[in-house]
Amino acid sequence: MSSATTPAAGRTTLAVILLVPVLAALLLWTFAWPAARTAPRDLPVGIAGSAAAADGLARELGRHEGAFEIHRYEDAAAARSAVEAREVYGAVVVTPAGPELLTASAGGPVVAGLLREAVTAGAAAGGGTVPVTDVVAPPAEDPRGAVLGAGLLPLAVAGAATGAAALFLGLRGARAATALVGASALAGLAGAALTHSWLGALAGNWWAEAGVFALTVLAIGATFSGLATLLGKPGLGLAAVLTVLAGNAFSGMSGAPELLPAGIGLLGQWLPPGAGGQALRSVAYFDGAAAGGPVLILSLWAVAGLAAVALGGRRRRTEAAPAPVPASASPSSSAPAPAS
């Protein structure tokens, strides 16, 4: 073994020894820190009923400082409509017989449980009960909404694999964009077939669900290909952080974005996994209510990634094109004149 090879191998070994623990710590921080700091923060909740009764209930909920964001509604019908439109996670309707709680466990079973605990605690202490109505419940085949939360990571991996495959297979420009769109469309059909038709875990419009699956995969795949096209290998690492790591950990799909540390939940909704999860929840359980914003975010990621792929392909064609030969350097002009 040459003397030059030994130091290089030693540096590589040292780099592996040092980088693996750093990567492990980063992964643990990304996933464990938000989970350890889970708590309601400005969770949108509705209150309906007479002004005096609603004020008293608002003060009661206000004891949980910073936990709830109170929205007022005139009556039970308006409160129910707000829950169904995903304006609030739940609502308390104050009636002459006492408070009633409206929840939407399809919008997040963890949140529904928190609301039930917060609203019924006072009544239970006095020996009473609070009727609870689940306005939007998940299908009986998936009562805890586990499939939706568990399906987010496979979507991210599918998108990453699509983007990486297009890159490493040497596809560029329009060919790469076509491959990304085609593969994402098929992934969307497969996702709806598995989760809706086979497992019965989704209950919305089949084609809308397939479209959200496809758009989520496309947004992630285009991000991988686009950043790698523009930045090379560092682009792949950045895409992995944005989509597979932070994108999943900050998505809030296991509970709600409002349960994550301040700013983290909002950031997660601007990343493809979080936007895709919220859009899928809307079309699967709420007839598309509040899906517009997440779909727009996914579309922006997809368009930006595809534009970067197309730009990179055009730039490579320009660099590979042969330089034009000056007219003065042409063979006919440089040849000596025949002797007379």
Q: Please compute, for residue 328, the number of CA atoms within 13 A of its CA located in the half-sphere on the CB side.
A: 0
Other Cβ atoms within 10 Å of 163 Cβ, number: 32
**pLDDT digits 0-9 by tens, 32-42:** 888 888 889 99
pTM: 0.85
What mean pLDDT do residues 149-154 have? Answer: 84
What mean pLDDT do residues 316-320 have? Answer: 55
**SS3 call for 293:** helix
Least confident window among 46-60, 122-136, 138-152: 122-136
Q: What's residue 317's pLDDT?
A: 56
Residue 328, pLDDT above cutoff 60 = no
For residue 45, what pLDDT band results from cuts at 50, 70 and 90?
Answer: very high
**pLDDT digits 0-9 by tens, 105-127:** 999 899 999 999 888 876 665 66
Q: Which residue blocks in the chain are alpha helix, DSSP H? A: 5-36, 51-62, 76-84, 109-125, 146-150, 152-168, 173-192, 206-231, 233-240, 246-249, 264-269, 272-285, 292-320, 331-334
Closest Cα partner for 183 from 172, 193, 191? 191
- Select the more confidently predicted residue: 198 or 64: 198
Q: What's residue 327's pLDDT?
A: 55
